């Protein structure tokens, strides 16, 4: 269930240049930035859903962590083996976001993934291996 507004913000940047003898400034387009945010509530309706839901939340939180990818594709001439695992760099994990027909395979990355367990949610499962809350709020930016 979506718990807050879905916000899609596009912002352009311009450089202002003043010419001698011209009373108004000329604005030159530089770039644009687009940001998106959505919040939703996750609820486990039975104890069997709890491990699956928290596994998915953990994977979602991992999308804010960098992925380490090869930077240079080099081969050791003596052994003939690739040495790309030595030369790695952090990159943002790219995602394709789809929410209904509003966003279809929109490419981007998450700047933040926030999981909040409401203080009022006293619904924790007590069985071993399932000791997680049954309700949490997730916010994506």
- Tens-digit pLDDT profile for residues 67-93: 887 766 566 666 666 655 566 778 888
List, for residues 15-34, the tens digit of each pLDDT value: 999 988 888 999 999 999 98
The burial of 130, by beta-carbon neighbours within 10 Å (0-12 exposed, 13-18 middle, 19 or more buried), is given as middle
pLDDT at 81: 63
Model confidence band, residue 14 (pLDDT cutoffs 50, 70, 90) = very high
For the chain, give the mean pLDDT: 83
């Amino acid at each position: 269930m979506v718990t807050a507004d879905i916000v899609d913000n596009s912002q352009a940047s311009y450089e202002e240049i003043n010419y001698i003898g011209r009373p108004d400034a000329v604005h030159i387009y530089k770039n644009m930035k687009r940001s998106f945010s959505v919040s939703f509530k996750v609820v486990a309706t039975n104890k069997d859903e709890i491990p699956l839901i928290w596994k998915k939340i953990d994977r979602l939180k991992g999308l804010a962590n960098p992925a380490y990818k090869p930077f240079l594709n080099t081969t050791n001439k003596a052994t003939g083996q690739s040495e790309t695992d030595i030369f790695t760099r952090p990159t943002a994990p790219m995602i394709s976001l789809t929410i209904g027909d509003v966003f279809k395979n929109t490419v981007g990355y998450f700047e933040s993934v926030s999981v909040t367990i409401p203080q009022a949610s006293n619904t924790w499962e007590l069985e071993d291996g399932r000791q997680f809350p049954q309700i949490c709020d997730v916010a994506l930016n």
